[in-house]
Chains A and B, each alone.
Chain A
Amino acid sequence: MAEQKDTGTKTPVDRPQAAKTARGPFKSVWNVFSSLKLTVVLLIILALVSIIGTIVAQDDPMKNMDMLVNMFGQAKAPEVLKLMVAMGLTNMYHSWWFVFLLMMLSLNIAVCTIERLPRVIHMVMKKQEPLTDATIRNMALRKEMKIKGDMDTVAGKAAAAMKAMGYSPNEYRAEGEIQYFAEKGKFSRLGVYIAHISVLIIFAGALIGSFWGYKGYAQITEGHTIDSIGLTGKPLLLHVGPEMPLPFQVRCDKFQLKLYQGTDMPSAYLSTLTVIDNGNNVLTKTIRVNDPLEYKGIRFFQSSYGIAPQEASMTIRAIAKGPVFSVHDYTLKRGEKTTLEGSNITMTVSDFSPDVVIGPNNQLMGRSDKYRGSAAAILDFSAGGKPVEQAIILNQDPSSQPKNVPFTFSITGYNGPYYTGLQVTHDPGVDIVWLGCTMLVLGILIAFFLFHKRVWVRVVRSSEKGQLVLTAAGSINKNRSVFEGEFKRFLEKLETRHEKS
């Protein structure tokens, strides 16, 4: 970028000169995209439309329906939802118009970079020139002093002063003239471009991820092995079904839920997973949230857990009503039967659920697979091979008891092997995204906090005999107030060196 003042204000360099003279339709499109006005407008439009997606629930029709029924009433809500879906508002960040805006921004960045980078590279590659009478006048910071003395000594002292400020000066000699000049941080001019190109790299990484990457979900019961996952996010460029085979197998050896001592608050979820490739156990790792397993570019994240429903068993407590008081616990899986102690009655558990709520029309609804005192079980009773009764036992409702069986039942436990729920992802673009992010931060830091500084000292013979004219000059591409201080210190060094002699 061209010269900038310390406050970050400067004369607009919106349109480079070359573009102004251009003609033709291609050139006029090019000119639109090389405009920084477009950048500001696009950034503000992107900021405004992004707000919509934080209010309209994304990929959640139920939630949107709730909101719309509240706003427009039951009758109109489906129509409005249809309209919103058609406009892409319910999956906004992947809608054609949002992607189009991002593409416009990318084009804008690319064109601006192509337009300006060659000049800046030229500026960076160019060697610093000695001052001439013409260029000296353009220097924002300059000071002239008249000094008596030998030309080489005076110039030599100036060079020493430069070195003391951390510059390594070049020498230039002409008839009746010596110059020393030096520059620092000229590559900092590239910082702006590093930052902008990095945004394109991040976009490229994100595209690669959506073309060939995928997201999925797997539930593995302890001791079981899987060789495929269910997909929740399909790759755009690969044809795959809802089930995706893995190039290896994964076994869950163990799941553990750790609690904070003396509380019921979870402190860690741990799954020990083993990768089996070609029949060999190649890798075993205990994963936890924030510490996934990675094998062949596919990563497994701890996401949920529960008791495996197929292998779960329920503990049912039977209390005899009399004449002899007795309490017995029976732990049974689905379909298992047992004879109730102290009677000839057989009890079969035909079904159960760990968490059941009573719905609005008195129907039973399963809520979750976590046991929390609201369990339900369907029990079949028979005596001598003849069915007696079927009863539904609800833990929340003590009156839900069989009528013809002399026992009272309650559910006291829900046990079984755990399953671990894993989020599975493969993203071939992620490293490119991190490369872009690193460049972005570096580019911004260079652009804001490093400067291209140049200093010159020119000593010429004056028309008066034995008199020398020393001109010191300096320039910086931005943040002049800081450089003014540095230049003042430089002048002080120059002066004290000459006073000493």
Chain B
Amino acid sequence: MNYELNITFFKIATLTYLFAMVFYLGYLAFRSQAVGKIASGITYLGFLCHTASIGTRWWESYQIGAGMGHVPITNLFESMSLGAWTIVLIYIIVEWRYKNRTFGAFVMPVAFLAMTYIFVAPDVSKDIEPLVPALKSYWLYIHVLTSFLGYAAFAVSFGVSLMYLIINTVRKDSLYGFWTACLGALTVIVLAIVADWATLPDIQGKHMLEATFRNPSVGVQVLSWAVYAVILFLMYVFGIKLKSALGKFQTSSDMLDEVGYKTIAMGFPLLTVGIITGAVWANKAWGTYWGWDPKETWSLITWFVYAAYLHARLTRGWSGGRAAVLSVFGFFSVIFTYLGVNLLLSGLHSYGSTGGQIDKTAIPFLLIFAAFFAVYVGVCWVIDSSSRKSAGNQAVSEK
């Protein structure tokens, strides 16, 4: 007998999130309350299916027998599913609390992307696996749950901060460069994952993004980088349209700034508890509460970034754009802590890892990818400051 009810629910939830995303985008485009309500309704439905997926997976693990039953949070597939679930949960709370549906278009794609990625990713098993002896501890549940709620709060802060940056765009300056680069990079990654998906039959045993950026063929690689450059250019040209579409909602930027801060104020204690419970557990399992394992180190790096955010904000008066940029960087660090460490580095949190070795082509790829991002933001800044200078000169010469 196959225990696959949970996978069916998972598929339905993923599809529902896709529809929710489309309706939220439609809500942004047409500003129709009815469309917004449908989007929320679909989100609730998807969340229910997702909850059912996790619940049935839990139940099914006990049906297998042989002492295999456990809460489904112990391999990469299960943890990613839980991650998307917590993001949607926190999003629903924020939507309800602030009576605002415009964030949906930014948060739902993250949930949809997480679910799709984990469903199609190579080398990720979707089977219910028995717990290895090291994971048999009640600390597992406390550690994973607090860490994930923290990650989810940071994810919502990320979405809201991006929106803050978009709405507060006045000129095509470096901040404009920053948010269009973020959206551009996200778009490129989505397309690359879709390309991986399109070549699904022979994807087994390959790296992520092997269909594009990390293709054995140099021509495909060059083409991929060219597409990345083109997408950044398109973002530069059309980003301003997105800004005016969003601007029509007259969402208060003070409110966005506040939600961006409050979600971090929620996530930071959760991350702290997540790190500490991890240390307590490590001390119980290996007798060392801190071993500078890559996962531990990256969680500390994330903690440092958000601690810097809180200090800059609470005592140095950083708010608005600068705080939003820091929040976005914080979330990059979260993503790397959660996924990058498992997929690229080796260490003790080896669930879903690609083996004990550092994935050699991944690091150059990441560096070049980040370099594109940085060069693009730099170019935006140069264009903006030189155009302002010439505008100033013109004004002077006209006088």
Contact = CB atoms under 8 A, between A and B. Distances in A.
B314 A51 contact: no
Interface string B107-150: 00000000000000000000000111110110100000000000
Given A58-B292, A261-B67, A430-B289, A37 B316 contact: yes
A324 interface: no
A437 interface: yes
A444 B286 CA distance: 28
Interface residues of A, number: 62
Contacts of B132: 265-266
A267 B287 contact: no
B285 interface: yes
Contact of A441 (B134, B254, B269, B307): B269
Interface string A275-311: 0000000000000111110000001010100000000
- Classify the secondary structure of A's interface with B: mixed
Interface string B293-336: 01001101100110110111111111100000000000001000
Contacts of A39: 308, 311
A427 B284 CA distance: 13
Nearest to B254: A7
Contacts, number: 149
Given A9-B317, A12-B317, A54-B345, A40 B133 contact: no
Given A47-B305, A58-B292, A288 B130 contact: no
B242 to A, nearest CB: 25
Interface string A294-338: 000001010100000000000000000000000000000000000
B294 A290 contact: no
B372 interface: no
Contacts of B286: 301, 303, 423
B268 interface: yes
A43 B308 contact: yes
Nearest to B315: A36
Interface of B: 65-68, 130-134, 136-137, 139, 254, 257-258, 261, 265, 268-269, 272-273, 276, 279-281, 283-290, 292, 294, 297-298, 300-301, 304-305, 307-308, 310-319, 333, 341, 345, 358, 360, 363
Given A1-B314, A261-B67, 19 more contacts: A1-B315, A6-B258, A9-B313, A9-B319, A11-B317, A36-B311, A44-B304, A44-B308, A47-B308, A261-B66, A267-B130, A269-B133, A290-B137, A423-B287, A427-B287, A430-B283, A440-B276, A444-B269, A481-B258
| A-B CB proximity, top 3 nearest | A425-B287, A261-B66, A47-B304
21 contacts: A8-B261, A8-B265, A9-B317, A9-B318, A12-B315, A36-B311, A40-B308, A44-B305, A57-B358, A215-B288, A265-B130, A268-B136, A269-B133, A289-B133, A289-B136, A290-B139, A303-B286, A423-B287, A430-B283, A444-B268, A445-B269
